[in-house]
Structure 1
């Protein structure tokens, strides 16, 4: 069933918004937001309902909600002043007010460039899907008359395949198999069956003057659902640099989309048929939430994953990281025992996952906090970035360790790279808190307090963010704001004192620790 309004068509099955047969590029959450408003057009939809429907109830900032509503309006050529289609109802929510008709797409309907072709070998059986997520990256279509752009597009696709191949939890079809589809219009469902993959990435390249524009879309080949679509462009001044930038952007965007799609798939599976990877995915869904209850639910899921697969390095890393998170937020009930167990799990993660960027990232970060191995943790995170330069957590957790080590400017660069790689990351509150930490140690108190407040709005129970807000407000001469943050901090962890701060965070430079302790002391933390 399609929803038709003005000259737009919204197709929930294919997850496509099109205008006069041209696909409009929108992010997945923007699409979900528009679809929910359209489906519920007969009433006002509250912000709380949208948070549940689009973000799964996760706390997001007011600015995030506003930016997504603006993106919806932009996609359908509406705006906040005109409100021709999406109307804001003051203090109530939003309502889609455009006239809508419903229609069934024709049997032949498909994306503009997709038609059915016979497989290479019609008698060959469909390949079974691998146990882990699987993807094929098809050659991008050259929409320019310039044949040079075809070589450029092929180079981007080869780089994307190579980058995705570094992700150990992902099965990636080799370049030679993917390129057998070059020059052919294909049906992605057929490609999925022929290559035995769940996901297909396809795209196009077009030259316009001195600029190149590339589009990409990620499709679930089992259903034909469009999961993600985006456009990238740049100047031809340095075509190889542009190729690298586009590769980084595409991989950085689709890797989180793949993980989220797999998490949702795992949630829908019956609990009596789960394997190690599905337990891992369910644990990841909890971990992203960040609350005490979520972490308590995540830990046994990761333990179940390693029970089923004793060499599952990433699952060991995530379990270790849960113990770090319990320590960082004052949730440990048996501190010595939990720290010992976290260290054991982290060491298994880095030993079993020497070439696994995810295992090195979470295990290395946990070791820095639980075993006070800050230098070793930084080295492990640096190796993770070398193995997979598109892994956002490797950048932002590495940024935390650099900030604690006193490398503030390098830390800020790490956080900025993480945000660029994953601008809608469910762990954005961590990047915000890390940026606050780095600016605090650099002496930029107003900037630090601003970032810390952003993090606490996204996750009010984030103790490090609350403490940075308290310390930076106090040192900047804002006693009321400092005391308010300290009251919240004392509610979250009544056991914290100035005298035990060294046991909480691995702050390397004495001057950084002195500034942090002084700020919290002025905000009202007992000695």
Structure 2
């Protein structure tokens, strides 16, 4: 670990958020000019080195503390002259802090109390002013063309010992002088402060009667750790360490943790703390890096206060790669301690449990997680293979089974039959989730996946209990919150579903498109059309090629009375998936509503939006429909030949007398059971969640003379025997 004594200058923009809120484009342009014309040239003039740039500030290192103080003074004088003609509210002004102290050097970055004190001093400075530490003053007094005012010893946040603080006097007439010690003038007159204190106390008393007391909860986001190995093939390791840390922290009931999906937007670029605080609403940010090298691994991490930019904690871990789990455990404990959170005994035990003792199995698991994050069939297929390898190497690796269950559920819900057919995907999901809970009953993810499986199977009470258990085990687990919203939705408990989704959105403002679609549908049923439309529009923006999101959006538009927009959305959605998007398809895919009337609410809105009754826009006349006995005599025990939509592809349907059936076309082969229910012909297979897919048979003009239609097929046929 390299250490050195150096001078640190910390600078930030006063009222940055307000300036950006009033004129984002203009403020950015003016700040860019200030940097290029004032700040950067002045830093270069005094031999400074810019360590880090933030949207509202910078950290600069100097070999000489006199140069640092001279640079700070020159910047403030030039800025005062430059902004003089502007209205007060539009002026760009800086606060600057300077410290001489010991720092830790890591690559191009620096850490330690030397840095933290400089940042704290900057926050003590007046707008347009400078504060320096006693160590900096001792070297710069009488050597810089400024004066100083002694502010005495000050207690700075998260700094153990008091620090001597001096204000810098920029007036040339004060150069070389040191003003006598004195108390800093309060910003409010004493009487006004007393009155304000009374008003605040009174307000607090009133509010105490109106609102339940809730302690302040810290919140944190974990930036994706950087891979410093130079080998992109090691990215999965950095991603895995990031996800493991998020998962561990999310187990703490006293901490809100933003999901990695939302934080990923800031990956690969210097963190702009003001943006992160505004977009994610977090108090703290964790950032770090991973550098694997042979059998060794180095992890750097730091915890930053997003309001002040202070480094609350920083450390570096050099270990053997085989000691990865102990490093992660140590890092997590230090971060939790720095956040001043006391885990319960149960939480501490859960977090301390390593996922596996087999590093090779863990490596396969991390590769699987990287592949699964693509959401694409090739990646999902690869992920299942990696999880299987991890489980084979360590049959007690519960997290690998849980991840396998999550991936199988995703494949099943999205009907990725080219990865895994519906029946084996469902079976694998149930088995993997069950195995994960046998091995580690404290994992939240398997319960969340079981909740979805049980809900679709109509086991409503069990699904709600599973989802609640998932949330209890992982208060910060976004998947658990979405699963709870999902099962409440289909149970008809819409306010509870909306509350679960709102929590998920707070933990992950950038939900995945599929989860944001669920959010939109929850708000639709909860009667909040505005939020439903906003959620579904955002889901469509994030995944413009997913047609069923547009169909859901069409329903929300129709419910809000925006019929033209509803029809436009449905028309656009049908261009993507004309076979899946029909009233019949929605009835099949959404049949697990506990109350059938809720499904009718959705169907009614979709009919208003112009969604066709059958796939591919097929329509049939009621007078041409066959009765049940006619259908039985026509199809049962016969081979049907004809053409399947779209594109009139040749197809054959061989139906035995017992209903056992094989359907073949140029692109599909399905084995199933066929039967007649009243005046409908029904197909029963493991597809579409194992539900019977029933539809009418129509006479048609021309050849072939009959058409069978249901949620997935339009088959024009004639009996071949």
What TM-score do the two structures reach when normalised by structure 1? 0.53
Cα distance between partner residues in 2 of 1:445 and 1:103: 49
**How far apart are 1:108 and its partner, in Å?**
4.9
**How far apart are 1:453 and its partner, in Å?**
1.0
Cα distance between partner residues in 2 of 1:342 and 1:217: 33
Aligned to 1:20: 9
Aligned to 2:407: 322
Among candidates 613, 626, 633, match of residue 526 of structure 1? 613
The answer to which structure, 1 or 2, has the higher relative contact order (CA under 8 A, 6+ apart) is 1
**How far apart are 1:220 and its partner, in Å?**
5.6
Aligned residues: 344
Aligned to 1:352: 439
Cα distance between partner residues in 1 of 2:387 and 2:463: 21
Alignment of 1:472 onto 2:417? no
Change (3 A) 1:280 1:482: farther
Change (3 A) 1:398 1:23: farther
**How far apart are 1:502 and its partner, in Å?**
4.6
Among candidates 490, 496, 509, match of residue 410 of structure 1? 496
SS of equivalent residue, structure 2 residue 306: strand
Cα distance between partner residues in 2 of 1:276 and 1:73: 51
SS of equivalent residue, structure 1 residue 20: strand
SS of equivalent residue, structure 1 residue 21: strand
Among candidates 103, 108, 119, match of residue 109 of structure 1? 103
* 1:69-468 alignment runs, 5 A limit: 79-84=24-29, 99=40, 102=49, 108-110=102-104, 111-113=111-113, 141=158, 170=248, 222-226=298-302, 229-231=305-307, 275-333=360-418, 334-369=421-456, 371-423=457-509, 425=510, 427-462=511-546, 465-468=549-552
1:322-354 Cα offsets, whole Å, 9 max, x none, are 233233334334333333333333333344342
SS of equivalent residue, structure 1 residue 109: strand
Task: Check conservation: 2:102, 2:113, Cα contact below 8 A.
Answer: no
What TM-score do the two structures reach when normalised by structure 2? 0.40
Cα distance between partner residues in 1 of 2:458 and 2:305: 42
Change (3 A) 1:85 1:366: farther
**How far apart are 1:96 and its partner, in Å?**
9.0
Cα distance between partner residues in 2 of 1:422 and 1:247: 23
**How far apart are 1:382 and its partner, in Å?**
0.8
Going by fraction, where is helix more abundant, 1 or 2? 1
* 1:484-495 alignment runs, 5 A limit: 484-490=568-574, 491-492=576-577, 494-495=579-580
Aligned to 1:10: none
1:395-434 Cα offsets, whole Å, 9 max, x none, are 12211221222221112211222222344x5x44345323
Gaps of at least 5 residues in structure 2 are 52-60, 64-100, 105-110, 116-156, 163-215, 219-243, 251-281, 291-297, 309-335, 345-350, 352-357, 615-721
* CA radius of gyration, larger in: 2
SS of equivalent residue, structure 1 residue 520: helix
**How far apart are 1:355 and its partner, in Å?**
1.3
Gaps of at least 5 residues in structure 1 are 1-12, 25-69, 89-94, 116-139, 146-154, 158-165, 173-212, 233-242, 252-257, 259-272
Change (3 A) 1:20 1:495: same
Task: Check conservation: 1:317, 1:360, Cα contact below 8 A.
Answer: no
Task: Check conservation: 1:276, 1:306, Cα contact below 8 A.
Answer: yes
Greater CA deviation, 378-387 or 280-289? Answer: 280-289
Going by fraction, where is strand more abundant, 1 or 2? 2
